[in-house]
Structure 1
Amino acid sequence: MVSHRDKELLRDDVRAQGMKLTAAHRESILKPYLPDPSELPRRSPQRWRKTSPRKTPIRTFLKSQLHQLTYTLIHILFGIVVRLIQSYHAVVDRIFAIVYYHHRTPELIKKDVKNLDRLPEHLSIVLSLRKEEDALTILMDEVAELAAWTVSAGIPVLSIYEKSGVLKLYISTLHRIVTNKLSAYYGSPSQQPALRLFAPHHPVYQPLDGNSTEKSNNNSLIVLLLSATDGRETFVDLTKTLAEMSQNGKLSPEDITMELVDAEISEITTQPSQTTSSTSVGNKPAFDPTISVKPEPDLLLVFKPLLKLDGYPPWHIRLTEMYCTGDKTNIMAGYAEAVEYQGFLRGLWHYAGAQMRFGR
């Protein structure tokens, strides 16, 4: 404890800004309160030992090793389970591919689906453009196969969603490839279903030939091509159009309702333009280009390991049943799955067994 007298002397010196006491006088006042320098070497090791870090005990080391071992065992066990599930799905897929194979015969496809409680009236497929040299050729061949399976199963409408929209640039080529694929299933052109192919803001493409009259009596297939531009961009364009009409007095703000927006979007994205891209032979009349497409698909198939929609128009899938055909255990995969018949068939089985609650 510092004495009261020494405290007052030091305080008076501080107030006088060090003018009252000399340096020697201040040292003499503080010296009784300072430790003896001769004791410092003896006491310093003790202080150093108090401030030095503690050594890691053996139990802390064993605990960390136990945690590492547990973590490793969990990863190994999880990896084994995932590989077993993947192997199981791969074996089941191969068995289905052997047992249920269409052999390019529409009758076999009808036989595979005849016992289903219901079939979708509008089937939609999400496909991806692969990163290969002949990616476009592979994509068109997949569309052709899906079209043949769809019409053979008795489904009248098929919509194909491909994000980039590259198929819209080759509608005539795609129509020719699909027609050739149908000939492999049905034989002569007179036995083939009538094929109508179009995309939003595009006319119906249907070259007419001498067998058009006979085709009109057979099953028909409507193929709709969708892309990412039919999603957000269409909604933005419609919003701008309605806003301009309201500003110009052509449309009252009270008339812009959800029903109006829904009707406009459905008409824009599921109806072709008024003109029809078709050619006829001789003086035979052209096939009726009237298109009636259910706006929302009943079933959406995604040929990927994950249920990734890639910007699919959201107003088309409010009540749509979705099914992913790929291996759902491969959570890191982002590539496209091969379009195979057993995946298509499993999607129809899933839709037939689904319970449609519609929000109830």
Structure 2
Amino acid sequence: MVSQRDRDILREDLRARGTKLNAAEREALLKTYLPDPAVLPSKPARSRASTASSERRKTPRKKPIRAFLKSQLHHLTYALTHIIFGIVVRLLQAYHAVVDRIFAIVYHHHRTPELIRKDVRGLKRLPQHLSTILTLRKEDDALAALMDEVAELAAWSSCAGIPQLSVYEKTGTLKSCIPALHQIITTKLASYYGTPSQQPNLQLFAPHHPVYHAENAFRPDNPTLTILLLSSTDGRETIVDLTKTLAEMSQNGKLSPDDITQELVDAEISEITSQPLALDPSSRDTVLKPEPDLLLVFGPFLKLDGYPPWQIRLTEMYCTGQRSHGLAGDGEAVEYQGYMRGLWHFAGAQMRFGR
């Protein structure tokens, strides 16, 4: 407390000066009443101990055993999940492999057209243009096996009443041996139909290749089977060549840039696979349907592998190997039950066409 004497001195000093004290003067006046910092009491030992314990509580204590058990629990859960998932996948693969073998026994064609027609008789619709993607394997007899698969597909399609078949093989090896392929398919059809008089008329062609058919072998009363061979060069390279051609014609003044429309590009691209096919000069030219109705992929998963994109705008796709997953070692084999599953899938599909 400020003494009465100091109050009187302060009052008289203020009257004499006529002004108030500044901050330094007020601090100097009160300094005599403040305790000396040197004699202040120190913190007690108990408060120091509590401060140290609180600081220790702030730093987390290491728990190596608990962390080890937690990591082992995570590893065990991960391993059990993988084991259970693997068992389920294997059981599904084994189930589908057994079903495929049963279908292979029940629905076997026995190289008899009547049995194939019986298998497809109950279907609501059949594709008029069937396309398939095959792969050239790396074995020594890969080309012979590939040509035999094409011959089998041609025979099944002919017996089922499918008039057009297109085969896509990425490398284009089949295009270089069209006469040999024609002979192999003819031999395969003979094993199904017997006498040549009952065999369908067969013709093969590829983009930028002439139509190939046997001379003097046309039978007007028999149906015609048309086979189109495609490769990766008929996809991106075709659109690149078409773009270069249109650009050169525009630069040379042969074509106006305003004339290059979507309809012109569609017409030029469609001309590649819809050239007129005539076996009989007296008959009207037949035109191959440019877009397939059904695309069969013989493999473990759906892979187009460079298939021309404008060919499959409205095409139904089916992968034959997605069920067996290659468990039986024939995930990419061309088999009759896979072919029939594709036709069943197409018959039951809903064609909405973007609606």
TM-score, structure 2 as length reference: 0.79
Preserved CA contact (<8 Å) 2:325 2:331: no
Preserved CA contact (<8 Å) 2:116 2:159: yes
1:302 aligned to 2:297? Answer: yes
Question: Which consecutive segments of 4 or more residues in structure 1 shift more than 2 A?
Answer: 53-57, 269-272, 285-291, 327-336
Preserved CA contact (<8 Å) 2:291 2:311: yes
1:65 aligned to 2:65? Answer: no
| Structure 1 residues 159 and 334, CA gap change in structure 2 (3 angstroms) | farther
Q: What does residue 100 of structure 1 align with?
A: 107
Task: Name the CA distance, whole Å, in 1 between partners of 2:137 and 2:282.
Answer: 35
Task: Choose which of 316, 320, 323 in structure 1 pairs with 2:311.
Answer: 316
Q: What does residue 326 of structure 1 align with?
A: 321
1:271 is displaced (CA, Å) by 2.6
1:330 is displaced (CA, Å) by 3.8
User: Percentage identity across aligned positions?
Assistant: 72
Q: What does residue 8 of structure 1 align with?
A: none
1:263 is displaced (CA, Å) by 1.3
Q: What amino acid is the match of 2:168? A: Y
| Structure 1 residues 96 and 287, CA gap change in structure 2 (3 angstroms) | farther
Preserved CA contact (<8 Å) 2:273 2:288: no
Q: What amino acid is the match of 1:357? A: R
Preserved CA contact (<8 Å) 1:299 1:321: yes
1:70 is displaced (CA, Å) by 0.4
| Structure 1 residues 152 and 332, CA gap change in structure 2 (3 angstroms) | closer
1:89 is displaced (CA, Å) by 0.7
Give SS of 2:287's match. coil
Offset from partner CA, 1:187-219 (integer Å, 9 cap, x none): 11111000010110000101223x52xx22111
1:349 aligned to 2:341? Answer: no
Q: What does residue 273 of structure 2 align with?
A: 269
| Structure 1 residues 312 and 168, CA gap change in structure 2 (3 angstroms) | same
1:327 is displaced (CA, Å) by 3.1
Task: Name the CA distance, whole Å, in 1 between partners of 2:329 and 2:233.
Answer: 22
Give SS of 1:169's match. helix
Q: What does residue 198 of structure 1 align with?
A: 205
Give SS of 1:174's match. helix
Preserved CA contact (<8 Å) 2:97 2:324: no
Task: Choose which of 150, 167, 177 in structure 2 pairs with 1:170.
Answer: 177
1:152 aligned to 2:159? Answer: yes
Superposed counterparts of 1:20-35, under 5 Å? none
Structure 2 alignment gaps of length 5 or more: 1-55
Offset from partner CA, 1:72-110 (integer Å, 9 cap, x none): 000000000100110011011001001101111111111
Aligned length: 298
Preserved CA contact (<8 Å) 2:134 2:169: yes
| Structure 1 residues 333 and 242, CA gap change in structure 2 (3 angstroms) | farther
Task: Choose which of 133, 141, 152 in structure 2 pairs with 1:134.
Answer: 141
1:57 is displaced (CA, Å) by 2.5
1:228 is displaced (CA, Å) by 0.2
Q: Is the radius of gyration larger for structure 1 or structure 2? A: 2
Give SS of 1:101's match. coil
1:331 is displaced (CA, Å) by 9.3
1:293 is displaced (CA, Å) by 0.8
Structure 1 alignment gaps of length 5 or more: 1-48, 279-284
Task: Choose which of 241, 244, 248 in structure 1 pairs with 2:245.
Answer: 241
| Structure 1 residues 131 and 54, CA gap change in structure 2 (3 angstroms) | farther
Give SS of 1:131's match. coil
Task: Name the CA distance, whole Å, in 2 between partners of 1:307 and 1:140.
Answer: 22
Q: What amino acid is the match of 2:117? A: K
TM-score, structure 1 as length reference: 0.78
Preserved CA contact (<8 Å) 1:208 1:287: no
Preserved CA contact (<8 Å) 2:94 2:327: no
